[in-house]
Structure 1
Amino acid sequence: MAEEETQVEEGPLRALKWDQGLFEQITRGFQFPPEWDAQYPPQGQTAADAPPGYTTLFEDFFLQGNFRIPTTNFMASMLHFYGFHLSQMSPPGMVRVRHFEFLCRSHDIEPTVEKFRVFYQLLRNLGFYSFGNRGSTKKILLNPPKSFHDWKMKFFFIREEVVPIAMILREPDTIEKEELLIPKGGDWYLKLTATPNRIFGENVLVAAQMSDKWSETSNEVPVLKFEDRGMLSL
C-alpha cells in the first residue's frame, strides 16, 4: 500500500506570502542569468497566475529538494511518463525524485522511470502530485522533511523555455494502484540501500550530474560523497 510520509499543507492555491529578499537570495545563490527573467509575483497572485510564456516554480524545490535548472533528462522523462506539469509537483514529490536520482548516480546506476516505479506509487493531493512508498518494496529514503510550511505561497515565475520539456497541466483523474514485480535479486536493486534525505552543495550535485551551476572561481572540487565514506572525484 502506498503511503505519503510527509505532511503537505492542504487547501487550494493561496496568495503570495513570502519575502522578496529570500527570492533574491535564490536567484543569486543559484546563479539565475538575467535572460531567465525570474519574477517575484505581485501581491495577491497565486501560483496559478503565471503570465503567458512563464512557468511557476516553488522555493522548496530548491531549498529542500535539491532541484536545479536546467533540468536533467531523468526529470524530463518523469514528467513525460506521468503526464503532469512541473508546477503541479509538490515539494515532497521533488524530494523523492531527486533523492532517487542522486542515489542511483552515487552507485553508477542510470536512473530511469522504470526503476523509480519499483519504489514509488504516484499520489495526488488537491491538484498536486507526489509519490508514496510502494508497500511491497524496501524504503530507500530515510528522514524526509516532515512538513513544508506555506510552500504553496512561496513561488516565483520564470520563462518557460528555461525548462525545455513538453509539459501539460494534468486534469484530475483516478490514480490506480500499481502492482509491479519487485526485482529483489537484481544487482541494481540490491545496491540502492536506505539513505537519509540531505541538502547537497553544488560540488556534490555537479559531480552527480544533477547541476551545472559550478563557479570557475570556486576553490572546491566537484566530488560525490556517499554515506560519509570517502570522496569520489568525477
Structure 2
Amino acid sequence: MSRTGRSSICSVLTAKDLEAFVDAYKIPEHFPPTLPGPDESAECTPDRIVIYTLSFSSCGVCYPLSAFKVDLLRHFGVHFSQLHPLGFMRVVHFELSCVAVFGEPSVPLFCMFYKLISDGDWCTFAK
C-alpha cells in the first residue's frame, strides 16, 4: 500500500471524463457526481462520499454492490472508498472464486483468509 494518504490525492478527471464514467457505470441520477477543484483533495463529508474511478475500472466495482460486499463492509465498519483499490480487488477475487467453486461467499469464510489492516487513512485486506 502507498503511504500517501487519500487526502493528498487530486482528481485528474475532466468534466467530459466524469460524464463518460457516469454513463459507463450507470451511476443513478439521484447521486449527482461532482469533481473536486484543481487544488482540492477528495474528502468525504457528511453529505458527500468519495469514489475512486480506479476502483471501477480495474477492481471490478459495480453498482449495486453484491450482498456479500455490503455484508463484508458492514462487518468491518468501512466504506469501499476507504479501501485501497488492491484491497477491494481481493474482495472481488474472493467472491468470484467462491462462486466458481461452490456457490455463495460468506463473511466468516472471508475472515478465515483475510484480515483488515490500516495504513494511514487507507485500509486493505491482508492474508
Structure-2-length-normalised TM-score: 0.85
| Superposition map of 1:83-232 within 5 A | 83-133=77-127
Report the alpha carbon displacement of residue 29 of structure 1 after superposing the two structures with TM.
1.0
2:56 is matched with 62
Structure 1 or 2, whichever has the larger Rg, is: 1
Is the Cα–Cα contact under 8 Å of residues 51 and 81 in structure 2 kept in the other structure?
yes
Distance 2:97 2:9 in 1: 35
Distance 2:63 2:103 in 1: 22
* 1:169-220 per-position Cα deviation (integer Å, ceiling 9, x unaligned): xxxxxxxxxxxxxxxxxxxxxxxxxxxxxxxxxxxxxxxxxxxxxxxxxxxx
Report the alpha carbon displacement of residue 106 of structure 1 after superposing the two structures with TM.
2.1
2:72 is matched with 78
What is the one-letter code of the residue matched to 2:29?
Answer: P
1:37 is matched with 32
Distance 2:22 2:74 in 1: 27
Runs (5+) with no aligned partner, structure 2: none
Distance 1:54 1:69 in 2: 17
Report the alpha carbon displacement of residue 94 of structure 1 after superposing the two structures with TM.
0.6
Cα separation, partners in 2 of 1:114 and 1:46, compared to 1, 3 Å? same
Runs (5+) with no aligned partner, structure 1: 1-7, 134-234
More strand per residue = 1
Distance 2:31 2:71 in 1: 23
